């Protein structure tokens, strides 16, 4: 193929966010979108506008504020979906894309839709044409494309391209494909649909990782003629996740010789920062051995490896860690650093904060500065992300005291302030105590007693944000309230019990302010 440019379509904010407990609020999504723009992805799939007011607002806000990438909204081949996507994407102008989808595989046609092949083609064409009335850039996905009969898939591709689709995505919706077979399918479509050969339309791929083959299948498709890859940061997504953006982009860059010299426009030096931001915003921890962005990705413990690295890096490293963002940390701040220094460092780190945000972050910075000698960039990023993840507060933490020991029943005394005002205009302050199996359990039970919630802790993770014994501890919790969907909470402090309390209270406030979200429709 003459075209050597691979379009990177990021769906972290749509498919990635569908992972249970990974939902983000508007501010979190907007910060991720800003970072995706700095990463220089080509397309940001910002959400599924019709499914909720929150998703509509997120797509609309990102379309209005993010410059550079194409902004995409997902829609079924249903009039109300397409109309909602068109309205949400209006601020993006010529940079807007509507992504319509409809299942095409035999099992989906028979058991989910109850429709014949000719009806599927008719609905697909109508969906593309309606989307075309809002935007010029229309993408169509035959859901479960990898399990669709190849001859029927060719018919569908020809029909939607004739109707105006400029991109046709072939999803491996259930992670069923294997590279050789999937590559052959993409090659057949490329050979049998004239518009793919002429460049009038391009083939995209969207692979799921149920068999651990999402990246391998995507790269096989690139070799076979696909010119767009749909992926997510850290590979997050439904079930086992999606193809990982960082692996796709670095494979293309590192093995350009094998992939025929194709390139993508990703600013690889922003990969690590992007990965960490998404991990914190979604509450999904990156495993240490994860390729490219894991803590151990460039670690060498073997003496032979260390010796080789010292003599010539390329002996045991196929990539320069600096190419993906690994490197030295800037000089840390101290408790004596002023507000201007903190604001300057925030700008250097790429965060866009208003005056109120900077003031709130500076106040927390001074608290942390009194407890530890140095405040590193990662500490500051954790404080910023804590500000971003804030939700309208029903309760705020006023006081916490914990008694625990091997011969003592763990007891926590908690004082919370209700943000809403009483009749006299004074904030309501409540205090109670709880006992538990340990100090964290006792603290969370006390919070439940005060907030009158019933939370079941489903996941708890603690990590040191930076170096040293006085490192800031960042806690992420996933909580099930009253049998609803998982709610994520985050909190940070040099005291891990306080960090746990702040994380749980963040989840409580999120639950009380947002309530449970409805279930999403089936998507590619």
* Helix locations, 199-298, DSSP H: 214-224, 245-254, 271-282
d(CA 283, CA 23): 9
| CA 12/CA 238 separation, integer angstroms | 11
**Which among 455, 450, 464, 446 has a CA at the least distance from the CA of 401?**
446
Q: Is 206 annotated as a binding residue?
A: yes
Contact 102, 77 (CB under 8 A): yes
Comparing CA positions, the residue from 362, 358, 361, 391 lying closest to residue 489 is: 391
The answer to whether the annotation marks 208 as part of a ligand binding site is yes
Does 348 count as an annotated binding residue?
no
**Beta-carbon count within 10 A of 473 CB:** 20
Describe the chain by its helix, strand, coil percentages, rounded to 5: 45, 20, 35
Cβ atoms within 10 Å of 35's Cβ, excluding its own: 22
Between helix 245-254 and helix 271-282 the angle, nearest 10°, is: 170
Annotated ligand binding at 108? The verdict is: no
Helices (H) and strands (E) in the chain, counts: 17, 14
- Residue 469's region, left for phi above 0, alpha for psi from -120 to 50, else beta, is alpha
Question: Binding site for Mn(2+): what residues are annotated?
Answer: 15, 206, 208, 242
Question: Binding site: what residues are annotated?
Answer: 15, 206, 208, 242
């Amino acid at each position: 193929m003459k075209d050597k440019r691979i379009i990177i379509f990021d769906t972290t904010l749509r498919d990635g966010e569908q992972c249970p407990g990974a939902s983000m609020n508007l501010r979190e999504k907007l910060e991720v979108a800003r970072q995706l723009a700095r990463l220089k992805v080509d397309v940001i799939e910002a959400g599924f506008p019709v499914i909720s007011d929150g998703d509509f607002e997120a797509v609309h806000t990102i379309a209005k504020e993010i410059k550079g990438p194409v902004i995409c909204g997902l829609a079924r081949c249903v009039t109300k979906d397409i109309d909602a996507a068109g309205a949400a994407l209006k601020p993006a102008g010529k940079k807007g894309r509507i992504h319509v989808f409809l299942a095409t595989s035999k099992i989906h046609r028979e058991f989910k839709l109850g429709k014949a092949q000719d009806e599927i083609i008719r609905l697909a064409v109508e969906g593309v044409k309606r989307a075309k009335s809002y935007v010029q850039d229309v993408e169509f996905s035959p859901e479960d494309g990898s399990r669709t009969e190849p001859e029927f898939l060719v018919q569908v591709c020809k029909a939607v391209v004739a109707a105006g689709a400029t991109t046709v995505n072939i999803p491996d919706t259930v992670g069923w494909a294997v590279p050789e077979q999937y590559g052959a399918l993409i090659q057949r479509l490329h050979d049998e649909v004239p518009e793919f050969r002429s460049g009038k339309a391009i083939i995209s791929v969207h692979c799921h990782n149920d068999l651990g083959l999402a990246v391998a299948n995507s790269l096989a498709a690139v070799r076979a003629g696909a010119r767009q890859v749909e992926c997510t940061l850290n590979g997050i997504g439904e079930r086992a996740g999606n193809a990982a953006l960082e692996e796709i982009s670095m494979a293309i860059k590192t093995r350009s010789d094998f992939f025929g010299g194709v390139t993508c426009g990703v600013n690889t030096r922003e990969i690590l920062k992007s990965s960490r931001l998404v991990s914190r915003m979604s509450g999904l921890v990156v495993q240490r051995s994860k390729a490219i962005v894991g803590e151990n990705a460039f670690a060498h413990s073997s003496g032979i490896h260390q010796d080789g690295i010292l003599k010539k890096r390329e002996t045991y490293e196929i990539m320069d860690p600096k190419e993906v963002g690994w490197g030295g940390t800037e000089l840390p701040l101290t408790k004596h650093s002023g507000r201007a220094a903190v604001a300057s460092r925030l700008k250097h780190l790429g965060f866009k904060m208003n005056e109120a945000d900077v003031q709130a972050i500076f106040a927390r910075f001074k608290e942390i500065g009194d407890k530890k000698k140095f405040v590193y960039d990662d500490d500051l990023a954790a404080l910023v992300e804590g500000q971003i993840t804030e939700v309208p507060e029903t309760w705020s933490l006023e006081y916490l005291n914990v008694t625990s020991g091997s011969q003592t029943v763990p007891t926590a005394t908690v004082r919370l302030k209700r943000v809403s005002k009483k009749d006299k205009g004074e904030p309501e302050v409540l205090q109670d105590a709880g006992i538990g199996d340990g100090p964290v359990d006792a603290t969370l039970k006390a919070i439940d007693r005060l907030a009158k919630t019933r939370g079941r802790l489903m996941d708890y993770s603690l990590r040191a944000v930076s170096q040293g014994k006085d490192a800031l501890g960042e806690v992420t919790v996933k909580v099930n309230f009253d049998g609803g969907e998982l709610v994520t909470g985050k909190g940070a402090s040099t005291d891990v019990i306080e960090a746990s309390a702040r994380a749980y209270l963040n989840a409580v406030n999120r639950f009380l302010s947002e309530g449970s979200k409805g279930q999403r429709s089936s998507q590619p």
